[in-house]
Amino acid sequence: MRKIAGVDEAGRGPLAGPVVVAAVILDPQAMPEGLADSKKLSPATRCRLAELILAQATAVAVSVITPERIDRINILQATLEGMQQAVARLDPRPDEVLIDGNRAPELAMPARTLVGGDDIEPAISAASIIAKTHRDHLMCELHQRYPRYGFDRHKGYPTAAHLQALAEHGPCPAHRMSFSPLRSL
């Protein structure tokens, strides 16, 4: 049976924190019910599904690209690098990779992109859920280190509260200094 890996990321747009990429090969005999784009699911549903995916999938791999690396190579290259790393960590190795979006990195196996794939391809939906829940957990850990920014609430996205905290306190090491408005600080 062909092994198809779904790949998706979480955290391309925030001003702080890593970009997280997940790759998932689902077991066709144990497909979790309710898979969808992680952005369309409640946090509780995402967490419940993440537990099912981790317990039932054939393989799950995650790659975390730091803000420093994002600043060094840019967010697109960081995301593509994360995709390569996550796919390379899968065991067993997939026969084909389906990637959410319109850009694919160089991989050792065939890969196809699917715009909106996190809503139509179960393996990509699973990767979306794993990437989002993993990143949210990391952002809550960053909140423990840097509580004045509210990372537990906005996950590093440029909300009014986050921008206000930046204006009051300046950036911290978790911020992506190559992103506007941080470049000007």
Report pLDDT digits (tens) over 137-170: 999 999 999 999 999 999 999 999 999 999 999 9
Tokens matching residue 122: 């179960």
Q: What DSSP letter does each residue of 2-60 carry, written as one string?
A: --EEEEEEE-SS-SBS-EEEEEEE--TTSPPTT---GGGS-HHHHHHHHHHHHHH-SEE
Please give the helix or strand (H or E) that residue 87 lies within, else none. helix 75-89
Report pLDDT digits (tens) over 58-99: 999 999 999 999 999 999 999 999 999 999 999 999 999 999
The 8-class DSSP code of residue 173 comes to: T
- In angstroms, rounded to a whole number, what is the distance separating the alpha carbons of residues 102 and 114? 6
Q: Give the CATH number of domain 4-184.
A: 3.30.420.10
- In angstroms, rounded to a whole number, what is the distance separating the alpha carbons of residues 19 and 26? 22
> For residue 1, what pLDDT is reported?
87
Report whether pLDDT(185) > 80. no
- Cβ proximity of 148 and 10 under 8 Å: no
pTM of the model: 0.97
